Amino acid sequence: MKPSLHLLVLVAASTSGLCAESFDKDVLPMMEAQCFDCHDSADKKGGLDLTGFSNEGAVMKDREIWRSVYEKIESHQMPPPKRKSLPTEDERRKMMAWIMGVAARPDPALGAPDPGKPILRRLTRLEYNNSVRDLFGLEMDVFMFPDRLPISSVAYFQPAKGQFGDELKVPVREYGLKYPVLLPELGLPADNRAEHGFRNRGEAMNLSPMLLEQYLKAALDVVNSPKLMQLSGTFQALVTDPALPLRAQPVDVVEETTEDAPVWPAAKEFAPNLNLPFQAKQGEVVTLDYQFRFAMQSAVEDGSGGVWDASARSLVVKAGKSIRVKFGPGHAKSLVLTPQESIWVAGFSTAGETSGESLFTNFEKQRKVLAFSLGIEGGSPGEGLTELAVCALSRDGEKGPVEMKATFSGAGTATLSHDLIEGGGRGNTFFAFRAPKGEHIVGLRLDGSKFSGNYALFDDLAFLTDSVAAAASAPTRVPEKSMSAATKREVAGKRLHGFLSRAFRRPANQQTLDRYLGVFDDASKRGEPFPAAMKAAIAAALTSPDFLYLAETGAGNGAVRPLDDFELASRLSYFLWASQPDDTLLAPASRGAL
């Protein structure tokens, strides 16, 4: 989506410059030769004086009369046909093109007509689905609905190439075929069609009491979904009781690999093939390759770490099916990885694996983003992932950037990226993350969407956990009975502030935060545990007009004013990708630089 945004800005900027240049070069000379002798301050034929428009700034202050000028020139009524000297067709086209360019200027500061008050608009069903999906970092839809184009692969979309091929094929799934979603039974009514078939016209998007009830039910279904806890590290970090360790969700313990529950014994060596020539350094570098190897050896010896080697000839792990990597004394503990998209464990002859002869990658072609929720099963109280490393593999004939993002139990994130060079094994790159003190790594996102080819390849996911002693002494993971209600409320406030700012698409003020902390307080007074109270507050936010509606809330006295940065971010994101603003938009918006 980002190339579209950059293209839009580039076109707007270049169009503005073109109009200014053509006025002095093409328009003003024609007006002096063809118009000023009749339409000056002395004659003013037809009540029109054009001599005051000596520059484009003057034109922008009074654009209304240029509609009539355009019509007269287009119909050859002006200049009068009886004149001996008339403009050529090329001169007429340049004049009309300039008038059209001026008429399309959107900036009120240049004298644009009052656009009127924007109509309060509810999110469409598609926008609601996309917003909830992106809010919790899901790789799948929230529910099934016909508004979603039935595209089964996005292989056709390759913005890095800068152009489409001579033939464009967009593969689609069979009509009516079910596809993976968070809540298959959930549904919202279709949006009313307005003039010309548009569904996002505010005048046609009413909100009845019955529809509001459906939104409330949908919000409760979302926050109470067991799958959401497994698939969203963001949601898990929001609702987990701060007095308890952030753990993998309870699942049945299995001892051997089945189609539904793959199990691997942890390998003891990280990337033993020693073909890691690069390290990702675009981001916060926390450790070096050789340092991590030494730490890995010690962790394996004391039972607090291991490596997922992903060894198999060909195995598909479906989305939502947990992977277990057994480690520790007697393999009593498991690293639990739950992928949001189906992954494929296989060997590639065009790559150089960092261990063995297999790796893991995306199962669907071109779906080169893999996201996992992470946790420890069967470990000591408070045990969780403190360090994590992954190898990104280069390929023959392919190259491009790969980005990885780790999510921490305190809801923070860290991102690393590297541009992989072409060649099997020649561009293999080491990525490593370390959780802040007192926190754990609970989510991992591997993004190879900008890497060329159909697959992004990864190998040797290595992990270190905190020891029993470290977990027991961690200040943020104390026994539940020693954390006061006031402290928990403070934690809830911090978590809700970040969530509400995302959900409402602008920084949440204290009044807004207090409103949803009140929901948390009411649930707590009823005896609800911390997770249930947080879910109630989140569900309330998902039913709020601040989430369900797109509204301009910036200060104004009724006069024409520029959009503020957050309003502009929302308009751009819902226009370009029908969802909430991402970090690329929010970062400059928060600085007032969008």
As annotated, the residues of the chain forming the CATH 2.60.120 domain(s) are 263-473
Retrieve residue 73's tokens: 């020139």
Distance, in Å, from the CA atom of 472 to the CA atom of 474, rounded to the nearest integer, reads: 6
Distance, in Å, from the CA atom of 8 to the CA atom of 6, rounded to the nearest integer, reads: 5
- Give the pLDDT of the chain (594 residues) as one tens digit per residue: 444 444 444 434 444 444 444 778 888 888 888 888 888 888 888 888 888 888 887 887 787 888 888 888 888 888 888 888 888 888 888 888 888 888 777 655 555 566 667 778 889 898 999 999 999 988 788 988 776 777 766 666 666 666 767 777 777 766 666 677 888 888 888 877 766 667 777 666 778 888 889 999 999 999 998 888 877 888 988 998 888 754 444 433 334 444 456 888 998 889 988 889 999 988 877 788 878 887 888 788 778 899 998 887 778 999 888 999 999 888 889 999 999 999 999 888 899 999 988 899 999 988 999 999 999 988 877 788 999 999 999 999 999 999 999 999 887 889 999 999 999 999 999 999 999 888 899 999 999 999 999 999 999 999 999 743 333 333 344 444 467 889 999 999 999 999 999 999 999 999 999 999 999 999 999 999 999 999 999 999 999 999 999 887 655 566 677 888 898 998 899 888 889 998 888 888 888 888
Q: Spell out a b/e string for 346-384, using b for 16 or more CB atoms within 10 Å of the CB, else e.
A: bebebbbbbbbebbbbbbbebbbbbbbbbbbbbbbebbb
Q: How far is CA 269 from CA 297, 337, 424, in A?
A: 7, 19, 21
- Mark out the alpha helices in 184-317 (DSSP H runs): 209-223, 226-231, 233-239, 289-301
Within 13 A of 314's CA, how many CA atoms are on the CB side? 2
Distance, in Å, from the CA atom of 295 to the CA atom of 593, rounded to the nearest integer, reads: 42
In the three-class reduction of DSSP (H, G, I as helix; E, B as strand; rest coil), residue 443 is classed as strand
Short-list 450, 397, 395, CA closest to 158: 450
Which amino acid makes up residue 567? E
Sequence-ordered list of residues with C-beta below 8 angstroms from that of 263, at least 6 positions apart, any chain = 254, 255, 256, 257, 323, 324, 325, 326, 334
In the three-class reduction of DSSP (H, G, I as helix; E, B as strand; rest coil), residue 552 is classed as coil
pTM, rounded to two decimals = 0.54
| pLDDT given for residue 78 in this prediction | 85
Class of domain 263-473: mainly beta
In the three-class reduction of DSSP (H, G, I as helix; E, B as strand; rest coil), residue 433 is classed as strand
Residue the block writes with tokens 């992106």: 134
In sequence order, what are the beta bridge partners of 305? 464
Retrieve residue 252's tokens: 């049945």
In sequence order, what are the beta bridge partners of 459? 391
